Amino acid sequence: MAKLPKFALTHNNEKYTWDLKNDATKRTLKSFDNKSDATKGGVLEKAVGPQGGSVKLRKLDGEYQEERTFPRSADPRSSKG
């Protein structure tokens, strides 16, 4: 299986927005007014694009909350242990 591109949804304290950034290039793909706008109804999947990817969602304080994989079929198998 090919490695998926990695992205992170983080809070931008200067602009008070939630930014979806590519981890490799550090470029912002899309900005959202609030976190719920970014996580509802397939918005992240569209923003990541057709190649798919892994998106790590961060809390307001910067800690990781969860990780989502797009498309869902690209999710790695769960490991033992």
DSSP string, the chain: -PPPPEEEEEEETTTTEEEEEETTT--EEEEESSHHHHHSTTHHHHHH-TT-EEEEEE-TTS-EEEEEEESGGGPPPPPP-
Spatial distance between the Cα atoms of 65 and 81, rounded to a whole number of angstroms: 21
Domain span at residue 23? Answer: 6-73
Count: domains in the chain = 1
The residues facing 55 across adjacent strands are 7, 68
Q: Does any domain span residue 60?
A: yes
What percentage of the chain carries pLDDT values higher than 90? Answer: 62
Q: Does any domain span residue 78?
A: no
CA trace torsion 67, 43, 5, 61 (10° rounding): -40
Is 60 a residue whose pLDDT tops 60? yes
**Stated pTM of the model:** 0.82
